[in-house]
Structure 1
């Protein structure tokens, strides 16, 4: 398993950053390579990704969700194996830190080479930067889910 840990500061309240992160179907707006996400239940999502010409479909289950604090997930079934957590930290009334930690298992020669070259880390860094632009540009979330898992 490989690990990625990245964070970014955003100029919105922690509640706004968290609320937006619970809107999984909006992820294609800021996550490169994510074609679509379908929210099937409160805790199950279906992902379609296309990275480096490789298309994958997989399910991810939310294993823990605490409003304004954290969202944790793991993939279920299929050949994509990853798990992670996104945590939200209040820095000021209108400033937050979003921290992403992810474990993943690269598959095959191409993914293992890409992993060694830091492709996934750069992908995550870029996604967090695009999230920052997305949420700061909007100034407010597109929706929220305040339930706990």
Structure 2
């Protein structure tokens, strides 16, 4: 498994960032490739994702450690992915959003298409960084 960690500092209070992160229906506005997202019973989330090989549904179990402001997720089928979002207050109006993604490069390539090896790792890193920047723009515009 490979692990990727990226962060972005957003100009909103921790509670606002936390609430925005939990509105799955807004994910298509800041997560590239997500065309639809919804919460389902039993702390499950379903994402409709457009990939290089077409469209697919991805289901994940989501668990919160609310007191620590950590949202953990794990896909329940293919592709096998896991990760977390950790929010840390910088001050009363700024929050650091840390994303962590654990993935098997071969599994991701098979599920979503794309390059192999080092090029794929760079593509995933750019994608996660871009999604975090889009989250920043989205949450800061919602003032």
TM-score under structure 2 length normalisation: 0.87
Q: In structure 1, what is the Cα distance between the partners aligned to 2:73 and 2:124? A: 17
Structure 1 vs Structure 2 CA RMSD: 1.9
Gaps of 5+ in 2: none
Unmatched tracts of structure 1, length 5 or more: 140-149
What are the residue-to-residue correspondences of 1:1-149 with 2, within 5 Å? 1-41=1-41, 43-66=43-66, 69-77=69-77, 79-105=78-104, 106-108=108-110, 110-111=113-114, 113=116, 116-117=118-119, 118-139=122-143
Aligned residue pairs total: 137
Greater relative contact order (Cα < 8 A, sep 6+): 1
Using the size of structure 1 for normalisation, the TM-score is 0.84
Q: Name the structure 2 match of 1:146.
A: none
